[in-house]
Amino acid sequence: MAMELQLDSMAASIGVSVAVLRFLLCFVATIPFSFFWRFVPGRLPKHFYSAAVGVFLSYLSFGFSSNLHFLVPMFLGYASMVVYRPRCGILTFFFGFGYLIACHVYYMSGDAWKEGGIDATGALMVLTLKVISCSINYNDGMLKEEGLRDAQKKNRLVELPSIVEYIGFCLCCGSHFAGPVFEMKDYLDWTEGKGIWNFGAKGPKAPSPYGATIRALLQAGFCMGLYLNLVPYFPLSKFTDPSYHEWGFWKKLGYQYMSGQTARWKYYFIWSISEASIIISGLGFSGWIDSSPPKPRWDRAKNVDILGVELAKSAVVIPAVWNIQVSTWLRHYVYERLVQSGKKPGFLQLLGTQTVSAIWHGLYPGYIIFFVQSALMIAGSRVIYRWQQAVPPTIKNVLVFSNFAYTILVLSYSCVGFMVLSLHETLASYGSVYFIGTVVPIVIILLGKVIKPGKPSRSKPRKEE
């Protein structure tokens, strides 16, 4: 009882519900638990530790039923690998997404998150991607390496993981709550001290994770502080306030930008905590920088590049700097696999990938509209990029700035749907600025059909494409 009263007072002091506070405490607790993983002796005990801590923290955060929900996609994924390996990937994909959608609908998770609540569906979203990737990689293990993409060759599983390895991978506490998503192959190498984690007597010593962990924690503190200071000034409720619709066009557009930016700092905080947790465990290590002396890289757990998002010169780079690991998952397991052999990807593959991302978040109209908008935004940005590559430097600088301004405009506009969720509120907020963020990309895409650039003025690798 005293504990509950203490949680009530703490929650009230920072302006969140008790459920959210309990989640945050368990979420931050993944950092010390991940640290202690380093001292667990032996391979099997490490798997048991990963699973046990994931179950324990989930129980404290969401209650007993959450762990029952997690068992369903885990069982479906493992059973498909055991029973029907040639199609286990596609079976797990549809079974996993089917159950996730059912949970989204049952718990109305989007409404809960919008109102400041919390439930287990966020963790279930991460788990769903893990079980799907594991099954697809086991499916790829049957195929010959010739013809496979580099990512498929790297992550394919020739042998079926044991049930202990599988559960440890699924519930690994450092990534269980909010990601990042990582591969079963990397998890096994990390646990067994293989690959880049093979720090032997003759090889390099294990790098210290403490500096990178402190950096991630400082970033998390800054992001949370900024979010708590901004959110009272830019509440989502303003979009349904009659006074909002009395504002002028530019003031509405400015409010959309600030409300979207405010919401992003919350995600920056969450992903910074996850990054710290994965780094301190050692799993965040991703190799050595070629320098003298060599320096460790800790970007395996990196889920966001804050400056990359806020200063993006093109909408094309947004998936590479926002929710990075999920974007990587979508590229490897959806986008690339929708492309037919011998053909180049196009708008349909992009739209299909964004639709899967929308469904993964939930069946709210705002999510669907946002990700369709994202496909339009990226397609329009690609047109501007092609133009800027084919003009003299003086004009190119103008187009570079235009692409930057275009990205800010359309992203700020599109984000409103992701935040308000309902069809009525999304269309009302879009309509309040004359659907400018939808009209501009469509006009640019159509112009791209008419104004086709010639050869680039200078030959450059097209990283953004």
- Which token pair is 404? 């930057």
Q: One-letter amino acid identity for 234?
A: F
Alpha carbons 198 and 196: distance in angstroms, whole number:
6
Looking at residue 99, its amino acid is Y
User: Terminus-to-terminus CA distance in the chain, angstroms?
Assistant: 57
Distance CA 318, CA 98 (A): 28
| Residues whose CB falls within 8 Å of the CB of residue 413, separated by 6 or more in sequence, listed in order | 253, 256, 373, 430, 433, 436, 437, 438
Q: Which of 340, 344, 369, 342 is nearest to 354 (CA)?
A: 369
- Token digits of residue 10: 């703490």
Distance CA 326, CA 380 (A): 23
Phi, psi of 24 (to 5 degrees): -65, -40
C-alpha to C-alpha distances, 285 to 35, 127, 299, 306, nearest whole angstrom? 14, 21, 7, 20
The verdict on whether omega for the bond into residue 461 sits within 30 degrees of 0, i.e. cis, is: no
Residues with a catalytic annotation lie at 361
Sign of the four-CA dihedral 358, 264, 130, 164 = negative
Q: CA gyration radius for the chain?
A: 23
Task: Calculate the alpha carbon distances from 49 to 64, 120, 213, 278 in Å.
Answer: 19, 21, 21, 15
Give the dihedral of Cα atoms 23, 28, 31, 34; nearest 10 deg.
Answer: -10
For residues 38 and 41, give the distance between their C-alpha atoms in angstroms, rounded to a whole number.
8
- Please spell the DSSP secondary structure of 269-298, one letter per residue: HHHHHHHHHHHHHTTT---EESSSS-EE--
